[in-house]
Amino acid sequence: MRVVRSRPLLLSCATLAAIAAACTSHATPAPPAPCAALAQSASALLCQWTDYPGDPVLAPPGEPIVGDPTVVAPEASPDGRWHLFAWTFAAIVHYASADGVAWTEVDRPFKIGSVRPYVFKEGGVYHLLFEKFSRVAAPQISAIQISDSTDISTWSDPVTILEPTLDWEMETQTTVGNPFVVARDGQYWLYYSAAGVLLPDTGFTEPRYIGLARATDLRGPYSKEPRPIVSPDASVAWRNMGSGSMKVLGDKYAGRWVAFENGIYRDAMGASHSAIQVLESDDGVAWREACPAPPLAPTGSGWKKAFVYAFDTVRRGGDLRVYYNARDGWGTGIERIGFSSVALSCN
């Protein structure tokens, strides 16, 4: 079992040309606090990221994988510290940090079979959404569950809020996961990954589609879009195998929504990868590329040699950070967590 992530410039010239041809537009962000730089287009602002020089900042605890980080910044946490949740083969692991760089394990609130967490805070309540596999020995069926906490430490019993019910959610795997929630228009918009595509050179699957469901209550019931909002596309070089996962920035920029997606693809040499692309949308349903190529991608060597995977974004002062995990190989490899940032020049 594996999760989805992203990948940039391990690409041939032909692949780069295909990516550039697929990119057709440029978005503009504009958040709640006035930021002069956010009047620029997304291509000018969000297509050039700086890796933290000490990456990776978090290694797996005695196993090959720590993945799909979701982060709570100090100003949103109950104790003024950074908090990060990520999954391993054994559990969802909760880490804390004074600076968002050096992390210490706090606890393991949800055990084996619980993966791909996301923390959504509303008022004084932290909602932890995650994908739960029902058959650990043969992980082919999953649902999205939710648990609540007021102190980010003690969690309620999980409740299932979304299950696979549509034909396209049952291709290769019968799964819904990688949850992400944004509150808008009096509803909760739940973006999620579904189904799977097998990567032959790794032996594991990655998400094939991205779907959207809406509800007036965070716990549902949810009404799903009948078809995927993002699908693999042979003409899109960075998403020609699978759609990975998606997270939408909480602010609309210049009237448009901005999201990050880590597509799954095969390169010109036949090797599989994942890379994070920036997307923009007028309605939050139909999305288009904002950058000429995925700005966060595999490097061909080091800790993100092969895949740049699932992620979370957090605003910190004048910067936007993206925490993500990356993999240094295919059939065998270690997955670690690092982050990159971009300056928003907030006053």
- Note the pLDDT tens digit of each residue in 153-162: 999 999 999 9
209-215/187-194 β-pairing = antiparallel
Confidence of residue 139 (pLDDT cuts 50, 70, 90): low
Say yes or no to pLDDT of 26 above 50.
no
CA dist 15 → 63, 236, 279, 297 (Å): 34, 9, 19, 13
Alpha carbon 167 to its chain's center: 24
Confidence of residue 14 (pLDDT cuts 50, 70, 90): very low
> Half-sphere exposure of residue 131, counting CA atoms within 13 Å on the CB side?
34
**For residue 107, which of 130, 133, 81, 84 has the smallest C-alpha distance?**
84
For each of the domains in the chain, give its residue range(s) and CATH number, in order of start: 13-341 (2.115.10.20)
Confidence of residue 134 (pLDDT cuts 50, 70, 90): confident
Q: Please, are residues 175 and 163 in contact by the beta-carbon 8 Å criterion? A: no
Confidence of residue 33 (pLDDT cuts 50, 70, 90): very low
H or E element: which one contains 45? helix 42-45
Among the ranges given (57-71, 224-238, 254-268), the one the predictor scored with the smallest mean pLDDT:
254-268
pTM attached to this predicted model: 0.88
